[in-house]
Amino acid sequence: MKNHMQLQFSALSQNEAFARVAVASFISQLDVTMEELEEIKTVVSEAVTNAIIHAYEENPLGVVHIEASLEDGVVELVIEDYGKGIVDVEEAMQPLFTSKPELERSGMGFTIMENFMDSLEVVTAIDQGTRIRLVKRLAYAKALQS
Ligand SMILES: Nc1ncnc2c1ncn2[C@@H]1O[C@H](COP(=O)(O)OP(=O)(O)OP(=O)(O)O)[C@@H](O)[C@H]1O
Ligand SMILES: [Mg+2]
């Protein structure tokens, strides 16, 4: 059975903590390890921070939408914004690439998302927004399969 949740909130930096705790609490119903939970929380933080800082340039009128689905030990996350979009996704996904070096960003957000999850998809359009889809199969589900 598939279990699904969605949330929408203002693009305020204090909501980054809210988003990571909300997603972690939803996922905790599965047999998830502490390490997996930490990875998923980090990934949510990275994607939500990107929406707040890059998509909306910290304009609190911006809206961030997140979804989480659980099915057979597979976690699917969607983090979506309706902000400025990414001009060159390939460049944006390079390790260490950042368009905001002045804010001391390290350009590692996408690399962290890729490393902690099994798959990462980015759909973006200029001035329409960006949708990030991340999928991870939890270890207990892999063990059941083999
Ligand atoms: N939701 C988004 N909307 C618009 N641009 C984005 C979005 N997410 C990422 N980007 C662009 O992609 C670049 C790379 O993102 P990434 O998260 O890898 O690094 P960063 O946010 O610059 O630094 P860090 O995440 O390490 O603090 C950003 O600098 C920004 O230009
Ligand atoms: Mg980032």
pLDDT value at residue 139:
93
In the numeric block, the tokens 């957000």 are attached to 109
**What pLDDT, in 10s, does the model give residues 30-54?**
999 999 999 999 999 999 999 999 9
**78, 131 in Cβ contact below 8 A?**
yes
The residues with which 120 forms a beta bridge, in sequence order, are: 134
What the chain holds in terms of domains, given with CATH numbers, is 2-144 (3.30.565.10)
Q: pTM surpassing 0.85? A: yes
Ligand 1 pocket: which of 16, 53, 54 to mutate (most atoms within 8 A of CB): 54
User: Does ligand 1 lie within 6 Å of residue 84's CB atom?
Assistant: yes
State how far the Cα of 85 lies from the Cα of 80, in Å rounded to an integer.
Answer: 11
**85, 125 in Cβ contact below 8 A?**
yes
Rounded (5°) CA angle 127-46-36: 140
pLDDT value at residue 121:
98
User: Does ligand 1 lie within 6 Å of residue 46's CB atom?
Assistant: yes
**What pLDDT, in 10s, does the model give residues 108-127?**
999 999 999 999 999 999 99
pLDDT value at residue 32:
96
